[in-house]
Amino acid sequence: MKKTDLYKSLSSKVESRMKQVGTPDRFAQGVVLDRKEQRKLDQAKGLIPFAVKLDAQLAEELRKLAESRQTGLNELVEELLRKGMASAA
């Protein structure tokens, strides 16, 4: 194996590790959990993944609203869904 091939292999390993690590909060104030730890915490709370496809404009509005309320996107969507289901019933 050539030396350049070894470097390419090493760089691809490093890149894949970097993609797996989450982005820390601003100025590294928050605790960064790996995927397994986050999954365990979510399961303990009774949360499950639920993927939906939304219009890009609606998704952007949700992100802006979550940012303005200083809350997470998951919490905001849960709140809106609960309100919508309560009014529909």
- Summarize pLDDT for 17-31 with one digit per residue, the tens: 877 766 655 555 566
Tell me the C-alpha distance between 15 and 31, whole Å: 22
Split into its structural domains, the chain has a count of 2
**Whether residues 41 and 72 fall in one domain:** no
Domain with 57 in it: 50-89
State residue 5's pLDDT score.
84
State residue 12's pLDDT score.
87
Entry pTM: 0.56
Evaluated on CA atoms 42, 48, 65, 37, the torsion sign reads positive
- Is residue 80 pLDDT above 60, yes or no? yes
Tokens of 52: 């939906």
